[in-house]
Amino acid sequence: MRPERFHRLVQVLSRRQPDLTVLMEMVNKPHNFSAILRSCDAVGVLEAHVVWPETELEVELHHATSAGTRKWVRVTPHPDVGRAVAHLRARGFRIVAAHPSAEARDYRDVDFTRPTALLLGAELLGVSREALAAADEHVVIPMLGMVHSLNVSVAAALLLYEAQRQRAAAGMYERCRLEPETFRRTLFGWAHPLIAAKLDAAGSPYPSLDDDGEIVQR
């Protein structure tokens, strides 16, 4: 690996936001799944969460647009939305559902500097009743035209970039906010993915890296 490439990885990882994420509930179109991951990477999301639809295999095989992004944004699956919400809430996340309910607030009025998981539903059905009931808050993107909703990946991008705007104004990208061990392991996995996979399979620890990303031999 070229030192310039490694230093770029360090710079990008240093801006990752451990307390901003998305939870995709049954997003069943591969291009939407992939586009949401790209937006996650663009605004510094470290990890995304997903409740797979029955078409999981189709999404998994859609390498052309998602495989590259998934190198940089870890995707954590959950068996159902109830357990996904419980997992996130146990980690301190507030669940914000994108849904035009009667009590929904304009997304620009929400404080996204707090630990936030954006809950997004499938293109046709939207967020399920179970998920809406479990959410802490509902948000809406105001629309002035004849159509009633945006494409889910477009909505995700708008919400994520509002979160990015607020967090940048609050200085939350100016210092590394990851735990040291999380930073170290993630950086090694980004810099040496094949070696990291072999070490993970063997249950072995990651070696140290020097300032240019080379493995320190012991």
Q: What is the pLDDT of residues 7-24, one digit of tens each?
A: 999 999 999 999 999 999
- Between 3.40.640.10, 3.40.50.1110, 2.40.50.140, 3.40.1280.10, what CATH number should domain 17-169 receive? 3.40.1280.10
User: What value does the mean pLDDT take over residues 86-92?
Assistant: 97
Q: What is the pLDDT of residue 57?
A: 45
Query: Quick one: three-class SS letters along 40-58?
Result: HHHHCECEEEEECCCCHHH
Measured distance CA(51)–CA(81) in Å, rounded:
6
Cα–Cα distances in Å, from 106 out to 30, 101, 122, 155, 167? 28, 11, 21, 13, 18
Contacts of 211 (CB under 8 A, 6+ apart): none
In degrees and rounded to multiples of 5, residue 51 shows phi and psi of -105, 110
In degrees and rounded to multiples of 5, residue 209 shows phi and psi of -115, 150
The predicted model scores a pTM of 0.90
User: What value does the mean pLDDT take over residues 108-116?
Assistant: 98
Q: What is the pLDDT of residue 66?
A: 56
Q: For 56-87, what is each residue's pLDDT tens digit?
A: 544 554 544 555 677 899 999 999 999 999 99
Cα–Cα distances in Å, from 18 out to 51, 73, 80, 131, 153? 20, 11, 22, 22, 21
Q: Where in the chain is the domain with CATH 3.40.1280.10?
A: 17-169
Measured distance CA(82)–CA(131) in Å, rounded:
7
Amino acid of residue 206: Y
What is the DSSP annotation of 157-211?
Answer: HHHHHHHHHHHHHTTTTSS--S-HHHHHHHHHHHH-HHHHHHHHHHTPPPPPB-T
Q: Determine contact, residues 74/40, Cβ cutoff 8 Å.
A: no
